[in-house]
Structure 1
Amino acid sequence: MRGDVASEGRRIADTVSGLPDIEGLSSGSLGTVCTPVPGGRIEGVALRDDSVQVGVVVRLGRPLPEIAADVHDAVLAMVPGRRVHVSIEDVAPDPAGTVTPPVR
């Protein structure tokens, strides 16, 4: 693992959380998308020697592949030389309560 894992993980978490289509980070259904740090863990960012995995909850709106590509590009710029994997763990409900009809 390179450098200060805690600050690198927090920087990535802050950057991803600040993207417009991101509702929040998620450690996934099994809680494995995280980085252990002194005093706890960074949820939604798993730092490894050769890769970074990010789990996100997105806002309903844009196509999911576009959102995933934005997250991928933002993280890749921060971790040159490592692979970046993005998993969309959930889609946040529309705060207005509107329901999108299913596509048929």
Structure 2
Amino acid sequence: MDGGDAPEQIALEIVEALVLFPDVVEPSSGSFGTLSTAARGGRIRGVAVREDHIEVGVVVRYGRPLPEIATEIRRGLAPLAGGRAVHVSVEDVVAGLGNDVVPPG
């Protein structure tokens, strides 16, 4: 993927990849809903594609150090970012959700 890809396509690929990380419960658009990208039919929440960087918001499972989780996500998403920096924001931490539990929403 290069830097010329449409923001909507980049956001879709990133949000699909986000849920594959074992510590990620779901994407989060943040307290004010600013971590999102405009798309046909609405918005892609949890990923804001900017000209020179990408902001990602996540809700994670309790257990591992947050900087470790954020670094893992950042490195994992870098190939999808089209040369943009990836900034990860942990918006919430959820205790007690195992891999076999599907969060509501």
Q: Which has the higher contact order (CA 8 A, sep 6+)?
A: 2
Scaled to the shorter chain, the TM-score interval is 0.7 to 0.9
Aligned residue runs from structure 1 range 1-104, under 5 A: 2-95=4-97
Aligned residues: 96
TM-score, normalization by structure 2: 0.84
TM-score, normalization by structure 1: 0.85
- 1:2 positional shift: 2.7
Stretches of structure 1 lacking an aligned partner (at least 5 in a row): 97-104
Say if 1:80 and 1:92 are closer, same or farther in 2 by CA, change over 3 A. same
Percent of aligned positions that are identical: 44
- 1:58 positional shift: 0.3
Higher Cα radius of gyration: 1
CA RMSD of aligned residues (A): 1.5
Stretches of structure 2 lacking an aligned partner (at least 5 in a row): 99-105
1 CA distance for matches of 2:97 and 2:41? 33
- 1:95 positional shift: 3.6
